[in-house]
């Protein structure tokens, strides 16, 4: 990922000792929360590499849980997130793994309740910036710095064209598009970074396209 300005390198306004281990961890947690869409009953967090070795000293555990609670990096409640989650009845499980990953600051977050579960793998690349490398088993490389459309659909001919047609009709410019699938002809996940906010009526229109199962809009801004 390229940095857009010197402020991306310095890092965000934040609570905590480290932009990589605290702010980045919080943002990964917050993406998981936004994908889940509501407060979970259980959060299983696995830290790898440097996260696994230093998460207590650098506050990666409290930061990740703060993100799961939908707290931003500068929210003063971040330092009390473990107690807040306990008070809300959220079961927090924190594990570490010696498994080698592509980046030393990696975490896997699984959120669940009685109806659904979401699993996210993210890396903190420095300066509070993150990349999500996996969403429910779909491989990606996303930063969520701009509004990002997530479209779950059947893997078949014409799906990308159908979504692109709706965006074109509403004059929404696409900055980046990635599509990931488990197997040919199964389900696929389309991620589209846009240059402007996508209104609810656009999401509804995309959702009405045949063979689309779910549409959501995510952003950390």
pLDDT tens digits for 125-180? 887 889 999 999 999 999 888 889 999 999 999 999 999 999 999 999 999 999 99
Output 40 or 59, whichever has higher pLDDT.
40
Residues of the chain with CATH 3.30.1330.90: 13-136
**Helices (H) then strands (E): counts for the chain:** 7, 10
Q: DSSP readout, 130-154?
A: EEEEEETTEEEEE--SS-EEEEEEE
Looking from the CA of 7 toward its CB, the CA atoms found within 13 Å total: 3
Domain 148-218 CATH superfamily: ACT domain (3.30.70.260)
13-136: CATH, from 3.30.70.100, 3.30.1330.90, 3.30.470.20, 2.40.50.140: 3.30.1330.90
Looking from the CA of 62 toward its CB, the CA atoms found within 13 Å total: 19
Q: Is it the case that residue 14 has pLDDT exceeding 70? A: no
pLDDT band at 81 (very low <50, low <70, confident <90, very high): very high
**Residue 218 host element (H or E):** strand 212-218
Residues of the chain with CATH 3.30.70.260: 148-218
pLDDT tens digits for 113-128? 999 999 999 999 887 8
pLDDT tens digits for 90-99? 999 999 999 9
Confidence (pTM): 0.84
Enter the DSSP assignment of 198: P
Mean pLDDT estimate for the chain: 89
Q: Specify the pairing of strand 42-48 against strand 91-97.
A: parallel
Instruction: State the Cα–Cα distance between residues 89 and 218, nearest whole angstrom.
Output: 26
CB 44 within 8 A of CB 109: yes
């Amino acid at each position: 990922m390229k940095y857009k300005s010197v402020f991306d390198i310095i890092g965000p306004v934040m609570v905590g000792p480290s932009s990589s281990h605290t702010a980045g961890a919080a943002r990964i947690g917050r993406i998981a929360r936004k994908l889940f869409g509501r407060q979970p009953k259980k959060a299983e967090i696995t830290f790898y590499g440097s996260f696994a070795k230093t998460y207590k000293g650098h506050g990666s555990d409290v930061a990740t849980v703060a993100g799961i609670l939908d707290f931003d990096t500068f929210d003063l409640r971040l330092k009390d997130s473990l107690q807040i989650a306990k008070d809300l009845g959220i079961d927090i499980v924190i594990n570490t793994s010696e498994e080698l990953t592509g980046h030393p600051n990696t975490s896997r977050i699984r959120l669940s309740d009685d109806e659904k579960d979401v699993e996210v793998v993210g890396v903190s690349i420095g300066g509070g910036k993150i990349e999500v490398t996996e969403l429910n088993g779909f491989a990606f490389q996303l930063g969520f710095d701009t509004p990002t459309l997530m479209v779950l659909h059947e893997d078949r001919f014409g799906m990308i064209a159908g979504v692109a047609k709706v965006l074109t009709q509403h004059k929404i410019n696409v900055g980046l598009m990635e599509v990931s699938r488990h197997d040919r002809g199964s389900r696929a996940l389309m991620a589209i970074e846009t240059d402007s906010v996508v209104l609810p009526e656009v999401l509804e229109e995309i959702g009405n396209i045949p063979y689309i199962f779910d549409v959501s809009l995510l952003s950390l801004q």
